[in-house]
Structure 1
């Protein structure tokens, strides 16, 4: 493991050393002592259309307690290089963002294409095209009002990265999609088509064990969803939004599948079941801060009566939130979240493990505090999830130090706690970890 990480570290430094001079070379390629005036005028304009940058990062994390289901106490061991590029055309832009990294936890080299898309206004189609914007390709998508709580945002997430302490940018996973945006006097509309269903990167046992009702305890390594249980049909997502006075209103729709494999087939193997979601949200100033509210109805169309224990029941989901600056450089926020299961009595009556089923109404309260110090070069951030009914929770703490634009140092911990091993947060108690990372930008 040490030798492999050492090799990866050296590889990362070599790649960084090779890639870092590229922006400088791109600038120098447009310089010459004896070019004509025409060439001197043309070259800077061409060079300004292209930008290239990125970072090299080393990150490591260790478990705070031994997990009986996993032999390795390492939760994070990355040597990563990210390259970002933008090429601007006359009325459009091509964007690239990709990662190449060694993941020491699973001892594998990974490539992550996070963005490769073309985005353009459609003015070339006529006057009405000036009100349309199109983005096609690999992209990271997000909407909704929650802070780490997602109701109407059904785009893919990466919870393994989130629990391990990777940067928040890796919480959102990319998808190959087409996004059409329309801007009108009646409001704005976003329509997203993902031709092939893209699930979450959920907790499946490779890095962190999870509770299995069949075993009555946490298990690992994780399961793999069979190809025949992975949908190949498209996903559709829709958002309409408009500002009315000082209030931002939005309505949402989604047609696709559950983002995690919480359903099962006749053999008991995990699969993704059909899901439709309908919701609304509002954000507006309140007092000295900003308040938000959001609602979503999760329509589990394969089990409308809740009688099938192999398919999750439909749910109502509610969210209320508020954020404001408490004193100079200290910002605080709080959220209240509720999941209400429909046909809960039918769920308990048909479930093979009723003692492990979620309560009909599951509440989560969150609190975030963010403090900026040393002329805003040092950031302290704490975020706590707590479920009063389950009596469990999850505390995230992070320190970031970045005295300039060249490098950043991060450290923190993820702490899970609870009374019962099967509840949502408590099942990950043995996943609690410390982590640190160093990132150099070029």
Structure 2
């Protein structure tokens, strides 16, 4: 029922955009039809099925421009063959105004900050991790937020202020289709508490001697939930909640040698537990990223990354950790790469993404082959391979390895 209502709202928003476009406005319509399938290669799902994903999806994009105003809508309709139901998803729907020294964008929009490739230092906006782990196109990694975004431009610096009145969480994998780590699987009475407040972010950026520099400030909440049992000795109920969070970060990128060097850092201030004595709330931490992208030869790009997390108040964390819970390390260094090679006049793309956390053996490997049959039709096949400790981000998914196939027709 909820999915049907969402689909109806998507149609209504599209119709409103068309109706609101002035007669003199330029209107463009585009979209695609797509089939997505992801089949297990390491065993069945928790629900006993052999498929992670099997759906047909259609996307409609409308853009109306007139003078300084622009309206944009991107919505999906889909049918899930596993659950045998359909629905809709409003991915983006906003109106923006562009002035001489500022711009304003209001509505659902995708906001991306930072420089990492599947590594999130200053990008604090919601993700869709399930989409990533079943091989959907990377455009589905980010979730839109209902926000007001104000941009202001000056000789000193440029400013981007994001006001999100209602918090929106990241989407984590469905426990029916993915094997997820659960320290208390016997407790079935569970509830989720979402923040009643919104969040706010500010990005300040400018060019410094040919390098792109930025500062980031955010005040809101963690996008993935923490869990708190009502008792550690005999729990009967688990409550999921989103801890308070502030972040302060910076980034710098530009040409160095034959490639582009990117550096990024952030401090994650766990406002709900700055002392680190509450085991249910993530400790404050520092995140660092160094990346280098180059093109050794024509049609081949290579991106190398080194990422590190350092937990604050580690002694307090160890002292408050309940017996039997997995122990995280203070330092978590991760190395990663993405290699992409094009063939046949760039109609064939062969790519590999891989990351490895040296502290807990957490690893994720994603090779993919994509071929463009025509300008409008392409297909892709790839594999998601996970590994590591049972409680790690990727290690918990070791039984969720899958092979995925996509076909898209664009119009």
Q: Could you tell me the TM-score, scaled by structure 2's length?
A: 0.89
- The CA deviation at 1:187 is 0.9
Q: Whole-Å Cα distance in 2 between the matches of residues 191 and 408 of structure 1?
A: 37
Q: Whole-Å Cα distance in 2 between the matches of residues 189 and 398 of structure 1?
A: 37
Alignment of 1:12-411 (within 5 A): 49-67=26-44, 69-121=46-98, 123=99, 130-215=100-185, 225-226=191-192, 229-264=193-228, 266=230, 268-353=238-323, 356-411=326-381
Deviations 1:390-432 (A, max 9, x none): 11300011111114321111110100123x3222211101111
Deviations 1:70-124 (A, max 9, x none): 3112111110010001111221110011000012333331211011100112x4x
| Residues 201 and 224 of structure 1, relative CA distance in 2, 3 Å threshold | farther
| Residues 98 and 55 of structure 1, relative CA distance in 2, 3 Å threshold | same
Q: Whole-Å Cα distance in 2 between the matches of residues 120 and 262 of structure 1?
A: 38
- The CA deviation at 1:204 is 4.5
Larger Rg: 1
Kept in 2: contact 1:333–1:369 (CA 8 A): yes
Q: What SS does the aligned partner of 1:211 have?
A: coil
Q: What SS does the aligned partner of 1:347 have?
A: helix
Gaps of 5+ in 1: 1-25, 27-44, 124-129
Kept in 2: contact 1:55–1:441 (CA 8 A): yes
- The CA deviation at 1:234 is 1.1
Gaps of 5+ in 2: 1-17, 231-236
Q: Whole-Å Cα distance in 2 between the matches of residues 273 and 77 of structure 1?
A: 34
Match of 1:432 among 395, 398, 401: 401
Q: What SS does the aligned partner of 2:273 have?
A: coil
Match of 1:421 in 2: 390
Q: Whole-Å Cα distance in 1 between the matches of residues 23 and 45 of structure 2?
A: 58
Q: Whole-Å Cα distance in 2 between the matches of residues 179 and 99 of structure 1?
A: 23
- The CA deviation at 1:53 is 1.0
Match of 2:3 in 1: none
Match of 1:5 in 2: none
| Residues 208 and 48 of structure 1, relative CA distance in 2, 3 Å threshold | same
- The CA deviation at 1:358 is 1.5
Q: What SS does the aligned partner of 1:380 have?
A: strand
- The CA deviation at 1:275 is 0.5
Match of 2:234 in 1: none
Q: Whole-Å Cα distance in 2 between the matches of residues 160 and 248 of structure 1?
A: 32
Equivalenced residues, count: 385
- The CA deviation at 1:373 is 0.5
Q: What SS does the aligned partner of 1:349 have?
A: helix
